């Protein structure tokens, strides 16, 4: 599958396994998601531009590299995206943040937008969209459709888990958007849940079920 980055690092896989377990508490699920997001941030920002600045160590002057975190926008798809957002922000604290509120119509499984708030000057920024589950792909496609209207420099999509159906849908609609994921599971069920998956990510993060 082109343009899909499967993050197979042992730490990522280990934490994901713990999160999948049905007995994982809300507290540990949230903590693990946070840690996983930090590790995934490492992968997804690998090609970020760096610039040279002059600094002084206690011993001498040197030229050293820094990133411009402000050029990066993490766009969280509400509400489950917040779980990944926190971890990513702890690694790139200078990043800007956008939110897209989308809910899945339970009958049609299509995405309905109820909120959209982005930083200014999006054409100058690289966007990383975060949502733990890329399932039908409908929310991801709707989010990327809307973001492209603002003309950002680039868009990447980060999820914890996906399935062949979700990848196919997003790649068909937006072949230019790379997908970063910790696992590609077997399939979707009739309700749009990923199997074997980890259940409803939002409910598990917020303890709402
Ligand atoms: N959203 C979830 O939270 N879980 C799934 O399995 C699919 C979509």
Tens digit of each residue's pLDDT (9 = 90 or more) over 61-78: 999 999 987 899 999 999
For the question of residue 203 being annotated catalytic, the response is yes
Ligand 1 pocket check for 83: Cβ under 6 Å: no
Separation of CA 134 and ligand 1 centre (Å): 8
- Residue extents of the structural domains in the chain: 4-49+66-206
Please report the pLDDT score of residue 113 as a whole number.
92
Please report the pLDDT score of residue 110 as a whole number.
81
Ligand 1 pocket check for 188: Cβ under 6 Å: no
Tens digit of each residue's pLDDT (9 = 90 or more) over 4-35: 999 999 999 999 999 999 999 999 999 999 99
The residue with greater pLDDT, 172 or 106, is 172
Please report the pLDDT score of residue 111 as a whole number.
82
The residues, ordered by sequence, that sit 6+ positions from 8 with a Cβ below 8 Å of its Cβ are: none
Closest ligand 1 atom to residue 201 Cα is 3
Please report the pLDDT score of residue 73 as a whole number.
97
Please report the pLDDT score of residue 77 as a whole number.
96
For the question of residue 204 being annotated catalytic, the response is no
pLDDT above 80 (res 104) = no
**pLDDT band at residue 107 using 50, 70 and 90 as cut-offs:** confident
Tens digit of each residue's pLDDT (9 = 90 or more) over 120-177: 999 999 999 999 999 999 999 999 999 999 999 999 999 999 999 999 999 999 999 9
Ligand 1 pocket check for 135: Cβ under 6 Å: yes
Mean pLDDT for the stretch of residues 171-184: 98
Rounded to an integer, what distance in angstroms lies between the CA atom of residue 134 and that of residue 130? 10
Structure tokens at 136: 């039908």
Tens digit of each residue's pLDDT (9 = 90 or more) over 43-52: 999 999 899 9
Catalytic residue among 108, 110, 124, 162: 108
The residue with greater pLDDT, 1 or 124, is 124
Q: Does domain 4-49+66-206 have CATH number 3.40.50.2020?
A: yes
Q: Could you tell me the end-to-end alpha-carbon distance of the chain, in angstroms, rounded to an integer?
A: 34
Separation of CA 49 and ligand 1 centre (Å): 33
What's the chain's average pLDDT? Answer: 95
Q: Where are the beta strands (DSSP E) in 151-195?
A: 154-158, 161-162, 179-181, 183-184, 187-188, 194-195
Ligand 1 pocket check for 102: Cβ under 6 Å: no
CA-nearest residue, atom 4 of ligand 1: 200
Helix (H, G, I), strand (E, B) or coil at 126: strand
Ligand 1 pocket check for 161: Cβ under 6 Å: no
Probe residue for ligand 1, chosen from 193, 198, 203 as the CB with the greatest number of ligand atoms within 8 Å: 193
């Amino acid at each position: 599958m082109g343009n899909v980055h499967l993050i197979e690092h042992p730490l990522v896989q280990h934490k994901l396994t713990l999160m999948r377990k049905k007995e994982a508490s809300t507290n540990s699920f949230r903590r693990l998601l946070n840690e996983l997001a930090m590790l995934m941030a490492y992968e997804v920002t690998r090609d970020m531009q760096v610039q040279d600045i002059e600094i002084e160590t206690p011993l001498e002057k040197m030229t050293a590299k820094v990133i411009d975190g402000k050029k990066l926008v993490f766009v969280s798809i509400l509400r489950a995206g917040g779980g990944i957002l926190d971890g990513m922000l702890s690694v790139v604290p200078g990043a800007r943040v956008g939110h897209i509120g989308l809910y899945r119509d339970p009958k049609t499984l299509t995405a309905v937008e109820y909120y959209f708030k982005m930083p200014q000057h999006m054409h100058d920024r690289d966007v990383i969209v975060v949502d733990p589950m890329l399932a039908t792909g409908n929310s991801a496609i709707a989010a990327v459709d809307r973001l492209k209207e603002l003309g950002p420099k680039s868009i990447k999509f980060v999820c914890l888990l996906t399935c062949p159906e979700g990848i196919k849908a997003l790649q068909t609609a937006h072949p230019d958007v790379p997908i970063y994921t910790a696992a590609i599971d077997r399939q979707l069920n009739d309700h749009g849940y990923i199997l074997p998956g980890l259940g409803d990510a939002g409910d598990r993060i917020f303890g709402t079920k």
